[in-house]
Amino acid sequence: MDRPSTHQVPEGTVAAPSAGVEAVPAPTHAECARTIVAGANRGSLSTLAAEPAGYPFGSVVTYALDGDGAPLFFVSLMAEHTHNAERDPRASLLVAEAVADGDDPLAAGRVTLIGDLGRVPGAEVAGVRARYLAANPNAGYYIDFGDFAFYRLALRAVRYVGGYGRMSWVDARAFADAEADPLAPVAAGIVGHMNDDHADALVLVCRHQGGRPDTVQATMTGVDRYGFEVTASSPAGAGRLRLGFPRPVTTSEEVRSALVAMVRQARRLSAEAPPRS
């Protein structure tokens, strides 16, 4: 189950800054997977059809997560996937990061959660109902209909794909224990702010802390609790790199402090060793 894959497609993977530098802290694949699943409420459920017999059947579902990341569904008892699950509980839920029209969906992250679908026991319904409604306000108008029921997907295996060439099987226990990135809800705002207002600071940081002294232009492409990713351009071309925060951060304010400290240090280094450009 634990076979990593690599293949001969162009690398979309974030590289360590440069040889000889210690590994840059980054989320585990379990954390990446949990972040994607926690950041959405809709996905594709695969179940096993009765007719044509045994064919995998994909359908659209909305979901919530219970405390250990297992998906919770509220489904019509008349729906195909519910009939299928009652006959055979084997199922998977595919959740993909949102991708803008025209962007390549194969470069974005997605997760397949594989497990067994089972009806939520009566004693747990009240708690599950509250979680489900919090994640799916649209369900409010049919949440009390009689011909719907709650199901949970008890996880057996998790497949994570971060984009081209970045994928692995994730241990189901590690996924259950992983925390979604606390910065995910604010990451886009931070990235936009840095690129709009602090592009020069990003260049300095790439030059002096990212091992790319020739950087002339830099664009932040992502941020998480452990660090951030940048596309850095130099006369030699553009490349992606990852920089780590001095310690993990959990709020926008902590990101701001960490970046201010990094830029301050880069300015000091810059004064000592001005860039070659």
Looking at the Cβ atoms of 99 and 174, the one nearer to its own copies is: 99
x/- mask, its own copies, residues 161-180, rule CB under 8 A, reads x-------------------
Residues in contact with 41: Cβ distance below 8 Å, sequence separation at least 6, in sequence order: 62, 63, 64, 135, 136
- How far is the first Cα of the chain from the last one, in angstroms, to the nearest whole number? 49
**Closer to its own copies at the Cβ: 17 or 109?**
109
Asked if 191 contacts 222 with a C-beta cutoff of 8 angstroms, the reply is yes
At closest approach, how far in Å is the CB of 38 from its own copies?
16
Region near its own copies per CB under 8 A, out of 5-13, 204-212, 235-243, 257-265: 5-13
Q: Can you name the residues that pair with 149 across neighbouring β-strands?
A: 75
| Residue 106 lies near its own copies (rule: CB under 8 A) | yes
Reported as half-sphere exposure (CB side, CA atoms, 13 A), residue 107 has a value of 11
Q: Does 76 bind its own copies (CB under 8 A)?
A: yes
Q: Give the per-residue contact string, 33-72, with its own copies (x = CB under 8 A; - = no).
A: ---------xxxxxxxx-xx-xxxxxxx-x----------
Q: How far apart are CA 32 and CA 38, in angstroms?
A: 10
Query: Residue 238, interface with its own copies (CB under 8 A)?
Result: no
CA distances from 151 to 105, 124, 247 (A): 29, 11, 39
Q: Of residues 7, 196, 197, 237, which one binds its own copies by CB under 8 A?
A: 7
DSSP string covering 37-93, please?
Answer: HHT-SEEEEEEE-TTTTT-EEEEEEE-EE-TTS-EEEEEETTSHHHHHHHH--EEEE
**Binder to its own copies among 20, 67, 122, 146 (CB under 8 A)?**
146
Cα separation, 270 vs 153, whole angstroms: 53
**Could you tell me the smallest distance in angstroms from the CB atom of residue 163 to its own copies?**
11
Query: How far is Cα 161 from Cα 174, in angstroms, rounded to an integer?
Result: 16
Shortest distance in whole angstroms from residue 116 CB to its own copies: 9
Binding site for its own copies (CB under 8 A): 1, 5, 7-10, 42-49, 51-52, 54-60, 62, 76, 78-80, 90-94, 96, 98-99, 101, 104-106, 108, 110, 112, 114, 138, 141-142, 145-147, 156-157, 159, 161
